Structure 1
Amino acid sequence: MYFLKTQVSFDSAHFLYGYEGKCSNIHGHRWTIEVTVKNAFLQRNGQQKGMIMDFSDLKKSLQLIADHYDHALIYEKNTLKSDTMECLKRDGFRLIELPFRPTAENLSRHFFTILKERGFRPHNVTVYETPDNCAMYEEG
């Protein structure tokens, strides 16, 4: 089996609604998304001969995901009061609502699914909240 790995980073804020601890407050991270794709064989012809795929194709798709989440407040649906939402929107803040709690674990699965839907064969996706703390998702 052959593996290819790349990563991109973005900055955004989140909070964990219902969590008892510091992470219940809005705080930011320099998130890093690391993806590993796999294939049992390499391309046999053309420009990509001897490759799983061109690194740049994978990197571009991953960068599009990161760009979407960059410099936004990522939050779980129904966890901000309507007047809070109205104020944030009126003041021009970029908000990204998700149907799940925005933990590194859930984001790793979310990004895995997006990549799979875009035609990639991810082996796993790792999401780092800090250089030392990460969560990984791979299908079982």
Structure 2
Amino acid sequence: MYQLTIEQSFDSAHFLAGYQGKCGNIHGHRWRVLLVIQEEKLKEEQQQRGMCVDFSTLKDELKEVADQYDHSFLIEKDTLKERTLEALKEEGFSWVELEFRPTAENFAKHFYDLFSQKGYDVARVQVYETPNNCATYTES
């Protein structure tokens, strides 16, 4: 089995609604995403001969997804009052409303699912919230 690992990072703020502790307050992270894809066989044709996939293609796709969250406020849907969202909009702040609680665990599954839907055989995704703490999602 061949495996490729691609890494991308993004900076964003978030809070964990209902959390009793520091993470219940708005704070920021440099999120680091490691995407591992796998292939049984290498390609045999044309430009990609001897490759699982082109590193640059995979890297660009991960960057495109990560850039959606970069320098934004990540908000779990229905955790802020509408007037708070309106004030953020009025001030020109960027935010992303998520269908899930913005934890490293949920982001790992989110990236796993996205790249699986793109047709990649994803082995695992690791999301680092800090340099020393990460969550891993895999289905095997």
TM-score for the superposition, normalised by structure 1: 0.97
Other-structure match for 1:44: 44
Deviation at 1:48, TM superposition (A): 1.1
Gaps of 5+ in 2: none
Runs of 4+ in 1 over 6 A off after TM superposition: none
Instruction: Give the length in aligned residue pairs.
Output: 140
Distance in 1 of aligned mates of 2:135 and 2:6: 16
What's the CA shift for 1:127?
0.6
In structure 2, distance between residues paired with 1:63 and 1:112: 14
d(CA) in 2 for partners of 1:139, 1:92: 39
| Aligned residue in 2 for 1:85 | 85
**Other-structure match for 2:12:** 12
Which residue is equivalent to 1:69?
69
2:96 corresponds in structure 1 to 96
Structure-2 residue corresponding to 1:53: 53
**Deviation digits for residues 11-34 of structure 1 (CA, Å, limit 9, x no counterpart):** 001100000110000100001110
- Superposition pairs for residues 106-117 of structure 1, below 5 Å? 106-117=106-117
Whole-angstrom distance in 2 between the partners of 1:109 and 1:57: 21
1:125 aligns with 2:99: no
SS of alignment partner, residue 80 of structure 1: coil
Amino acid at match of 1:93: F
**Unpaired runs of 5+ in structure 1?**
none
Helix, strand or coil for the counterpart of 1:87? helix
The superposition leaves residues 57-95 of structure 1 with CA deviations (integer Å, 9 ceiling, x where unpaired) of 110000001111100000111111111111111111111
Amino acid at match of 1:92: G
CA distance in 1 between counterparts of 2:77 and 2:45 reads 47
